[in-house]
Every structure is written in C-alpha cells, then in structure tokens.
Structure 1
Amino acid sequence: MSARLRETPYVENFALVGGDYDVLALVRTPDNATLRHVVLELIQDIPGIRATRTWLVFEEARGAGAG
C-alpha cells in the first residue's frame, strides 16, 4: 500500500497512524474534479484500502516547532 501511495499523483504526504484510521494522506489537487478522480479512482483502487474519508482543508498554519 505504501508503495502505491508514493506513486499516486497529488499525494503530498502520508503516515501510518494508530486510532480510528490506519493511514492519513495529504492529497493536494488543483480542483475538486481532480480530487474526486484521485480518491475515487486511484486511492480506492489500491489493494488493502477498504474505505476512504475526505476532509477539506480551508486554511493551513505551521507551528513554531515546524522545521
């Protein structure tokens, strides 16, 4: 799964996490149509991915500890 996510266009970053979800991916696309394509046709096609959940980021900020 990690290898496929690394190769997926527009996936900027991903992390294997614990808790309610197993993987958290940052997907940055130029528009909603591209986001739809990436999530529904590329990411959901990766073996081992059973479901996805999408949140939109309206604003980003970096903390003092960010390098």
Structure 2
Amino acid sequence: MPSDLPVLDRFDHAILRVLSTQGRLPVAELARRVGLSKTPTQTRLKRLEAEGVITGYRAMLNPLRLGLAHVAFIELRLSDTREAALAEFNAAVRAIPEVEECHMIAGGFDYLLKVRTPDMARYREIMAERISALPHVANSSTYVAMEAVKDTSFAAS
C-alpha cells in the first residue's frame, strides 16, 4: 500500500459507510451509530476531510423522477491516442451534460461513456450531434441498459 494513503481504523470505516448512504446525518446521530461520542466523531470527520478521504457532500438525485430513464453505455475508439488528442477529447466530453461518466479504458476500445437521456429520440440526437462530433472519434458501439441491478451513483427509486 502506498505510504501517502491515510491510515483508517474500524471507526473511520464505519463513519464512511454511514456517510456514504446518509451524508446529512447530524454528528450526534453519526456518533451513536458508530459507537463513539460526538467530539471524537467530529474530530475524525475533520481529519477525513483534511486528508481528502471525504471530498464533499452532495444531494443524490433520482434520475427517474427527473425524467431521465434512458441509459446507454458507449464504447468509443479514437483515431488518435497521443496525449494532445486525449486532452482535446477529455475537455470536449466534459462539456456534454448528458454524459454522466467517461472512463479511459485499457482494452479493445479507448473510452466508455455512460449517457443518460429522457428517451431514445434524445439519445440519438446527443449521439449524432455531440458525441460523434467529439474530437478524434473514429467509431462507437452503443449498449442500452434495460435495468439497473445495482447503481450506487443515485438514490434508489
């Protein structure tokens, strides 16, 4: 394990487990759930934030309640994978709000995108007008998700 990683004990892990599903929990309740008093729990929270283990807090939105039920995964192959081309692609893909995730992949393609839209018609529009027009895109393959069996990136419906 790299030496720059913070050392976490069972209380730290318990705090992180609880906060990963209930980030707005008051410190007193968090302390009760992990078996510590309020002051040590608060101290640990501040340390976990300072060490970059906890990077922030956010609301988890239900995409189905927002009318964003269509999920597609897209494999992209680029025509150029030199650093400048990758940087250009990365900057451009970040500007497409419908792209929820973008991962550089080691394998038979270069990037895997997760795209969320209201329906197939909007997906086709985003694919044709925005994603296909990204710098250095050579070809793509799309896979439409039928059901999210496990997805911890948003609240369960």
Structure 1 gaps of 5+ residues are none
| TM-score (norm. length: structure 2) | 0.39
Query: Which residue pairs with 1:30 in the alignment?
Result: 118
1:30 deviates by 0.3
| TM-score (norm. length: structure 1) | 0.86
1:59 deviates by 1.1
Q: Which one has the largest radius of gyration?
A: 2
CA-based RMSD of the aligned residues comes to 1.7
1:62 deviates by 2.7
1:6 corresponds to which of 72, 75, 94: 94
The answer on 1:55 being equivalent to 2:122 is no
Deviations 1:40-63 (A, max 9, x none): 111111111111111000111338
1:36 deviates by 0.3
Structure 2 gaps of 5+ residues are 1-88
Q: Aligned AA for 1:55?
A: Y
Q: Could you say which structure has the higher helix fraction?
A: 2
SS at match of 1:28: strand
**In 1, Cα distance between the equivalents of 2:138 and 2:128?**
12
Query: Which residue pairs with 1:18 in the alignment?
Result: 106
Aligned residues between the structures: 65
Name segments (4+ residues, structure 1) moved above 6 Å: none
**In 2, Cα distance between the equivalents of 1:20 and 1:52?**
11
Q: Is residue 4–residue 46 contact of structure 1 (8 Å, CA) maintained in 2?
A: yes
Q: Aligned AA for 1:56?
A: V
**In 2, Cα distance between the equivalents of 1:40 and 1:53?**
13
Q: Aligned AA for 2:141?
A: R
